Amino acid sequence: MNAQMTDSPCRGASGDGATRREFLTAAACGAGLLFGISPAAARTYQANSKLSIGVIGVANRGRDNLQGVASQQITALCDVDSAYLDAACAAFPGAERFADFRKMLDRVKLDAVVISTTDHTHAPAAAMALRKGLDVYCEKPLTHTVHEARVVADLARRHQRVTQMGTQIHAGSNYRRVVEAIRAGVIGQVAEVHVWCDGGKSGGDRPTETPQVPPTLDWDLWLGPAPARPYHPAYVPHNWRGWWDFGNGTLGDLACHHMDLPFWALDLRHPVTVEAEGPPVHPESTPSWLIVRYEFPERQSGPAVSLTWYNGDRRPRYFAEGKLPSWGNGTLFVGSKGMLLADYNRHVLLPEGEFANYQPPPRTIPESIGHYEEWIEACKSRGSTTCNFDYSGALTEAVLLGNVAYRSGERLNWDARSLRAKGARHADEFLRRRYRRGWRL
């Protein structure tokens, strides 16, 4: 593969590739891009004005995000795999193509970027874009380490950029109704929350084989800031989340979605203590199961909160006690007057008999115009989003502290202001990381 940037626009692939019209039609249908622009945005942008967007990572989750912003001007496309890049260029033949996002950000005039890479390259790409004055949409988790989350959130604030983390379910109606119910006191004061998820992404031992790198993949660019190691299909394209150098396991993959709900409903931000348990810590790969216990301080809106995360085959004791119905992934709020059980698309009050005549509280949170549309409109009107980097940065910090507690084997007495775990001797090495030469925040 030729990993060098070409200054010419993408050349459309011949054959049965999707046309730009087909791509935009699919995007409009799949991501709800038919919503109009608000009057505030219209005052800033003419009716046909579009953001000039660069997209970093264009396959898999990246393809979905590309579809989500396809109503705008896709100016540049970047991917370390030329096969993925070819497919995206077929849909956007006017876009410039790059293998290295650093060259793209240096050489192309953009308004905003969408980052859909592996976790370990989120922060370097986001930090560079923010310093260049660009608005940023970045997939979850926002960053690979706790320190990076703080740096990126601070940069967004300092440069006054419009930001959004890819917690798409946040835009759904069900989460809004749950937040309204909790804040209205339907189940009373909430001091206990449980969040659980199937799966345990674990890579196992590092492979010893050194197969040939696929001809379309620039392996060195894929590694980015991570320590050098030989290519192996155990890492890319799909299993990188199971390796500490690249991902954060199931906790990093899904907790930003599921813990988003109690963070939003209960106005949580920084925990004061974090402790975790799981299988013996592997130096290379993430655990097959994990339990993390967070303690959040008392807030103006309510009491202190104990939040417990479970993944793998672990679940809250309420299931074993027969107090919960059969349920997949979910969140349980335990209040002084009852419980609320929720997942992405449904929720139920428990015990059901005691809430038989339940009437939902008045709707106070407007319906979303769409997760991507919120960001696009805010970029144009210079407004804000509900998952901006101030909110999602704190959420990401809390999520990733679970892995810090697990890997260090220590109970973290967390000082959010100084970004330190008081008295924890080993935590700091997992709060931040070293970067290969040529990569930085």
Report pLDDT digits (tens) over 335-373.
Answer: 999 999 999 999 999 999 999 999 999 999 999 999 999
Residues 298 and 328 reside in one and the same domain: yes
CATH code of residue 178:
3.30.360.10
pLDDT at 199: 87
Residues 289 and 163 reside in one and the same domain: no
User: Does 437 fall in a domain?
Assistant: no
Number of domains in the chain: 2
Nearest to 166 by CA among 197, 126, 203: 126
Does the pLDDT at position 22 exceed 60?
A: no
Residues 245 and 108 reside in one and the same domain: no
Contact of 171 with 255, CB cutoff 8 Å:
no
d(CA 224, CA 115): 14
- Domain finish residue from 151, 170, 189: 170
Q: How many CB atoms lie under 10 A from the CB of residue 213?
A: 16
SS3 77: strand
Report pLDDT digits (tens) over 268-323.
Answer: 999 999 999 999 999 999 999 999 999 999 999 899 999 999 999 999 999 999 99
- Cβ contacts of 386 within 8 Å, gap of 6 or more: 170, 171, 368, 374
pLDDT at 48: 56
Contact of 425 with 298, CB cutoff 8 Å:
no
User: Does 417 fall in a domain?
Assistant: yes
Nearest to 394 by CA among 256, 277, 276: 256
Rounded to 5 degrees, what are φ and ψ at 86?
-60, -45
User: Does 224 fall in a domain?
Assistant: no
Residues 322 and 399 reside in one and the same domain: yes
Residues 188 and 122 reside in one and the same domain: no
Cis peptide before 230 (omega within 30 of 0): no
Instruction: Please tell me the total number of residues recorded for the chain in this structure.
Output: 441
d(CA 315, CA 184): 27
Q: Which residues of 345-366 are buried (b: 16+ CB within 10 A; e: fewer)?
A: eebbbbeeeebeeeeeeeeeee
User: Does 243 fall in a domain?
Assistant: yes
Report which of residues 137 and 21 the model is more confident about: 137
Residues 39 and 72 reside in one and the same domain: yes
Report pLDDT digits (tens) over 385-427.
Answer: 999 999 999 999 999 999 999 999 999 999 999 999 999 999 9
pLDDT at 301: 87
User: Does 212 fall in a domain?
Assistant: no
Residues 139 and 192 reside in one and the same domain: no
> CA 211, 214, 220 angle in degrees (round to 5)?
85
User: Does 292 fall in a domain?
Assistant: yes
For 137, the domain range is 20-170
d(CA 319, CA 327): 9
pLDDT at 440: 86
Report pLDDT digits (tens) over 177-198.
Answer: 999 999 999 999 999 999 999 9
Residues 269 and 418 reside in one and the same domain: yes
Report pLDDT digits (tens) over 79-114.
Answer: 999 999 999 999 999 999 999 999 999 999 999 999
Contact of 91 with 23, CB cutoff 8 Å:
yes
pTM over 0.85: yes
User: Does 130 fall in a domain?
Assistant: yes
Report pLDDT digits (tens) over 34-76.
Answer: 223 333 333 344 445 999 999 999 999 999 999 999 999 999 9
CATH code of residue 159:
3.40.50.720
Residues 190 and 130 reside in one and the same domain: no
Residues 338 and 265 reside in one and the same domain: yes
Q: Place 33 in a pLDDT band, splitting at 50, 70 and 90.
A: very low
Report pLDDT digits (tens) over 143-188.
Answer: 999 999 999 999 999 999 999 999 999 999 999 999 999 999 999 9
Element spanning 250, H or E: helix 249-258
pLDDT at 10: 58
- Domain finish residue from 170, 194, 213: 170
User: Does 215 fall in a domain?
Assistant: no
Residue with tokens 């080993």: 426
Rounding to the nearest 10 degrees, give the CA dihedral for residues 427, 430, 432, 437: 140
